[in-house]
Amino acid sequence: MERPIGVTILTFVAVILAFLNGIVMLRFLGFLPFLGPLDIRIFNLWYALLYGLLAYIWVWLAQMLWQVDPQAWMFLAVITVFNLCVDFVLLVTGGSWYDVNVSVILNSLILIYIMLPGVRGAFGHD
């Protein structure tokens, strides 16, 4: 199947989100200090596992998008909403907007973009 340019862009954005989730995982393992108002190291194994899993899922999703797998569209929608929920939980439980701003913006743009009829048609969803 031919890969449209929009799907290629979604693939690269998925790779960027995998990288960002990997960075957040390292931050929650205490390897990288949190930047912003407090320059401290925080260890939270639960968040580290969660963001590590999300990084793995984004890599897997990027592979599905690169191959224009028909199930990739629905999986992308579900993972994008889940990632937005995780970012919201992080904000509610004491995180700062600085920690999740890029993730929230990219996930929101992905969610808006994949709902366009042309993108849905590229994956066979009319």
For residue 54, which of 12, 24, 96 has the smallest C-alpha distance? 24
Q: Residues of the chain with pLDDT > 70: what percent?
A: 92
**What pLDDT does residue 97 have?**
80
* Total-model pTM: 0.81
DSSP for 1-60 reads ----HHHHHHHHHHHHHHHHHHHHHHHHTTSSPPPSS-------HHHHHHHHHHHHHHHH
Here the tokens at position 37 are 């108002």
What rounded mean pLDDT belongs to the chain? Answer: 85
